[in-house]
Amino acid sequence: MSISYKELGFVNTNEMFKKAMEGKYAVPAYNFNNMEQLQAIIKGCGESKSPVILQVSSGARNYANPTLLRNLGKGAVEMAGDFGYTVPIALHLDHGDTYELCVSCIESGFSSVMIDGSHHSYDENVQLTKKVVDYAHKYDVTVEGELGVLAGIEDDVVAAESTYTQPAEVEDFVSKTGVDSLAISIGTSHGAFKFKPEDCTLNEDGILVPPPLRFDILEEIEKKIPGFPIVLHGASSVLPKYVAIINENGGSLEAAVGIPEKQLRQAAQSAVCKINIDSDGRLVLTAMIRKVFNEKPDEFDPRKYLGPARDELTSMIINKNTNVLGSSGKY
């Protein structure tokens, strides 16, 4: 039995992106796999009055069970209502890799899907993306496509090097496929180890500074498709504060480097309307759980370590929405 996202209280991303483009900010897309992440995302975005995209990968569906995840999303909308939050909430498939997966998500109440054909040839990417768009638009579901390849891990696909998006291709891709937004590759990458240390420079505080994002490519893309919503994947900042807590409490994350917040702030003021964040949330949870385990070795009530982790994640989200994406206070 299929269910429309509208019955679950979600919205698609059209209106969100229109407002983000006009208001020069980016809508946060936070990944979740479990209840605590979802609670933090809803509370963080509700309290900061930010629109939000709840993002589910196929890894998350496999981990948590698709039916349970969708119902968690439904519960999150109701919880937002209980708290009096009026922010729009989208439920989005992250890195959908097949037409069938996109259809299955649309039938189970997703309001937006990504079809990631970036690992295929250009023509195959166009064909696959168009097929998904033709189906999704019948149900008023928005579709994100991708051109260019990010280095790092996308589910089971690992790319050693990034291939930047070619501005010459974007107009043709957007018009042939009918996508509603486009993920591009301008130097971001997935995970907590976004750059090789040898590609970074050391600043005076001994912190690794990565090479800057290719804003020149972004500008060229904007000229080719003016006013079209752009998406940045792999946009976690890998906040040094949480990496340090992890390492001080028995972890070992050496040379973890992310995208500097200043550059994300700049991107959010451009045609970039959606910024994807997963790793930063993972790091916050890991840091706080490690800290409790280290400081209280006799603690075994999950609420006593998941609770503080969830609260810290809420604060991180409020801070990111307010100081980096600029999405706070928009609803």
Residue numbers at the binding site for ligand 13P (CB under 6 A): 31, 94-95, 190-191, 233-236, 276-280
Q: Does 31 bind ligand G3H (CB under 6 A)?
A: yes
Alpha-carbon distance of 310 to 302, in angstroms, equals 12
**Binding string, residues 232-251; x marks residues near Zn ion by CB under 5 A:** -x------------------
Owner of token pair 């005076």: 204
Q: Please give the sequence-ordered ranges of beta strands (E in DSSP) within 110-207, or none if there are none.
A: 112-115, 142-147, 152-154, 157-159, 181-184, 201-202
User: CA 109 to CA 5: how far, in whole Å?
Assistant: 4
Return the H-helix or E-strand segment holding 179. none
State the nearest-atom distance from the C-beta of 97 to Zn ion, in Å: 12
Q: DSSP string covering 152-176, please? A: EEETTEEESS-B---HHHHHHHHHH
Residue 92 as a binder of ligand G3H (CB under 6 A): the answer is no
> Does residue number 144 form part of the binding site for ligand G3H (CB under 6 A)?
no
Residue 60 contact partner, candidates ligand G3H, Zn ion, ligand 13P, none, CB within 5 to 8 A by sort of partner: ligand G3H
CB atoms inside a 10 Å sphere around CB 172: 13
Which one of ligand 13P, Zn ion, ligand G3H, none is in contact with 277 (Cβ closer than 5 to 8 A by kind)? Answer: ligand 13P
- Work out whether 66 is an interface residue with ligand G3H (CB under 6 A): no
Nearest distance from C-beta of residue 304 to ligand 13P, angstroms: 27
Determine whether 122 is exposed, middle or buried from the number of CB atoms within 10 Å of its CB (0-12, 13-18, 19+): middle
Site for Zn ion in 175-234 (CB under 5 A): 233
DSSP conformational letter for 213: P
Task: Kindly state the tokens that stand for 144.
Answer: 């994100």
Of 82, 94, 134, 301, the catalytic one is 94
Q: Which of Zn ion, ligand 13P, ligand G3H, none has residue 155 at its interface (CB below 5 to 8 Å by kind)?
A: ligand G3H
Question: What is the rounded CA–CA span in Å between residue 256 and residue 243?
Answer: 8
- Chain positions 188 to 217 lying near ligand G3H, rule: CB under 6 A, are 190
Query: What element of type H or E holds 92?
Result: strand 89-96
Q: What is the DSSP letter of 197?
A: G
Nearer to Zn ion, 105 or 289 (CB): 105
**Which member of 144, 154, 280, 312 binds ligand G3H (CB under 6 A)?**
154
Q: Are 69 and 60 in contact (CB under 8 A)?
A: yes
Question: Which stretch, 54-62, 76-84, 125-133, 256-264, contacts ligand G3H (CB under 6 A)?
Answer: 54-62
Give whichever of 12 and 188 is closer to Zn ion, judged by the CB atom: 188
The answer to whether residue 199 is catalytic is: no
Structure tokens at 71: 């119902």
Name the residue nearer to Zn ion (CB basis): 46 or 96. 96
Q: Of residues 43, 70, 95, 194, which one binds ligand G3H by CB under 6 A?
A: 95
**Of 60 and 257, CB closest to ligand G3H:** 60
Query: Which of ligand 13P, Zn ion, ligand G3H, none does 178 bind, CB closer than 5 to 8 A by kind?
Result: none
Closest CB to Zn ion: residue number: 233
Is 60 near ligand G3H (CB under 6 A)?
yes
Long-range interactions of 83-86: CB distance < 8 A, separation 24+ = 83/42, 83/43, 83/46, 85/42, 85/45, 85/46, 85/47, 85/49, 86/331
The DSSP output letter for 212 is P
Tell me how far apart the alpha carbons of residues 292 and 311 are, in angstroms, rounded to a whole number. Answer: 13
Told to check if 59 binds ligand G3H by CB under 6 A, we report yes
What residue ranges bind Zn ion (CB under 5 A)?
233
* Residues catalogued as catalytic: 94
Q: Which residues bind ligand G3H (CB under 6 A)?
A: 31, 57, 59-60, 94-95, 154-155, 190, 278
